[in-house]
Amino acid sequence: MPLIDHLLGSRTLRKALWKFWYPFLTKRLHGEGVVFLNYAYETDPPLGIPLAPEDEPDRACVQLYHHVGTLAGLRGRTVLEVSCGHGGGASYLTRTFAPAAYTGLDLNPAGIAFCRKRHALAGLDFIQGDAENLPFADGSFDAVVNVEASHCYPDFPRFLSEVARVLKPGGHVLYADFRFSESIPAWEKAIAECPMEVAGMRDIGPCVIRGMEQNSVRSQELLDRKLPEFLHGLGRDFAGVKGSRVYNALVAGNLSYRSYHFVKR
């Protein structure tokens, strides 16, 4: 079993790993203008949504946020994004769907500092914090967005109960993430037992495969340049490069990538 899988098996080590990895990545990617850290999304035929010229190079990653952002209406709502990464999705959703206010939270302090400099928009702010201990009062938000991050959380049920706590009654969760086959029963159990209802679920694996394929050449070039050689294998998995372990697992059906819409009753 690869070392990475052992690390992911231990809760304490898992949090320590992400606490180290993402700030490391933010520093390594300095100056590259990388504002998305997800596997991306493309439909067949292509989604073809109109984008601002500055979003065009990130089209496939933007489209994952577009898909998630249309799971429930965000216009005029107070929105929390848990694990906003480098803030590209927070910026796109704020510009496109006009929420009343949008707060992006992430564990990575270097990522949050980057977001504050890069995405200066009215109604958009960023805060460092932990998905399992959200620094907000009960009932603070109308909607919570969470994209490709919950696989990092050592205690996924605790994240779901924190999300339910900070949501107003009737509030929405717009969620997308993946799990390897062996982790799917625990994922589904946590969702079935959480204090929210599933209002919709979609297997978006085929769209994510197309997204990974669109980004593969660019991601490979970036990781070749920015990561030390001993991290290239890991980098290929994180970027979902065609032929990587994660890409192959998704193609073979050993990994499920889904979007969910939950509602707090």
Ligand X SMILES: C[S@@+](CC[C@H](N)C(=O)[O-])C[C@H]1O[C@@H](n2cnc3c(N)ncnc32)[C@H](O)[C@@H]1O
The binding site for ligand X (CB under 6 A) comprises 18, 22, 36-38, 83-85, 89, 106-108, 111, 130-132, 147-149, 152-153
- Nearest distance from C-beta of residue 72 to ligand X, angstroms: 17
**72 vs 147, which CB is nearer to ligand X?**
147
- Nearest distance from C-beta of residue 265 to ligand X, angstroms: 25
User: Dihedral of the CA atoms 152, 67, 100, 194 (nearest 10)?
Assistant: -50
**68 vs 191, which CB is nearer to ligand X?**
68
- Please identify which residue in the block is written with the tokens 């999705």: 89
What is the spatial order of strands in the sheet that 255-263 belongs to?
124-128, 101-106, 78-82, 141-147, 167-180, 255-263, 197-203
* DSSP notation for 185-214: HHHHHHHHHSSSEEEEEEE-HHHHHHHHHH
**38 vs 259, which CB is nearer to ligand X?**
38
- Nearest distance from C-beta of residue 151 to ligand X, angstroms: 8
- Nearest distance from C-beta of residue 27 to ligand X, angstroms: 13
| Residue number closest to ligand X, CB atom | 85
**64 vs 72, which CB is nearer to ligand X?**
64
- Nearest distance from C-beta of residue 215 to ligand X, angstroms: 12
**21 vs 78, which CB is nearer to ligand X?**
21
Task: Pinpoint the alpha helices (H) of the chain.
Answer: 3-9, 11-28, 59-69, 88-97, 109-118, 156-166, 184-193, 205-226, 232-239, 245-252
